[in-house]
Each structure stands twice: as structure tokens, then as C-alpha cells.
Amino acid sequence: MSNKTKKEVLQENSNYKTLINGVLNQLGEMSYLEDIRNHGIDGGFAGFTYYSDTVKFATRHRSSIVTLLEDQADQFGEDVVKMVSGFGFFKNGGMDAEDKKDLYRFLGGGKCKETTIPNLMAWYAAEEVARMFEAAN
């Protein structure tokens, strides 16, 4: 499967230019994008493996991540919190009250008490950016 070029992706997704560049800089390798699309990011990719990296990334790019979440939730006719509760490890067990509080803190610009939500948001951003590079067949 072929990938779009960085220039194409930036042109098509100009609202997310900072996030796209942030993900690519964090990964260090565009070659990882296809693996991330095919297998998810939780397999361990440079810059997205350790909480110290993912929390810093999510905090730095919070505004762009929240915009992407809101845009996608709107496209799906979904509430942001409900949409996020279907991500990753929440998919099967759902979010507990503390996770929801941390998500609201993240969305509102506050500091999360745990690393779970910022890590999930960094992974979400990386997976969504990877999808942006997928060329239509």
C-alpha cells in the first residue's frame, strides 16, 4: 500500500499541520506510519513507548489533539467522552469515574492525575496522523 507524501497530507489537513509535524518529529521515521496503521501504536514505536514521552507529547500538542477529537466526534455524531471511552484499553472495560475526570482535565487544559489519558491521547494522535498518510486505492 502506498503512502501520501508529507506535502500532500499537510495540504489536505492544514488545520492539523502542527500535530502532523509533531507526530513525525516524535517518530523520527515516516516508515513507521504503515505499521502504525496496520497494527496500532501500542506495539511500541519511537517516541510513543514511554509515559515520559507520551505525556509530554500530549501536553505539548493538547490543543491540536482536542481539536481533532472534537472534529471527529462531530463527524461521527458522537460525544467526545463517549468516543474516547471506546479507545484502546477502555474499549472492553469502559472508563471509570477517575478516568473521566482526567479526560475532562485534559480537554479543559488541566493537569491529569494519572498518565493513562495523556498516553491514550498521544497514541490517538499518532494513529490518526498515520491514517492521514494512507493513499486511496
- Going by C-beta distance under 8 Å and a sequence separation of 6 or more, which residues neighbour residue 67? 15, 16
Q: Does residue 99 form part of some domain?
A: yes
Q: Does residue 1 form part of some domain?
A: no
Q: Does residue 42 form part of some domain?
A: yes
What range defines the domain where residue 98 resides? 6-132
Q: Please write the tens of the pLDDT for every residue from 62-117.
A: 999 999 999 999 999 999 999 999 888 888 888 899 999 999 999 999 999 999 99
- pLDDT band at residue 37 under the 50/70/90 scheme: very high
Q: Does residue 10 form part of some domain?
A: yes
Q: Does residue 137 form part of some domain?
A: no
Q: Does residue 60 form part of some domain?
A: yes
pTM of the model: 0.93
Contact 72, 83 (CB under 8 A): yes
Give CB contacts under 8 A, 24+ apart, made by 24-31.
24/129, 26/53, 26/57, 26/126, 27/126, 30/3, 30/6, 30/133
Instruction: Report the domain count for the chain.
Output: 1
Q: How far is CA 93 from CA 60, 83, 85, in A?
A: 28, 14, 9
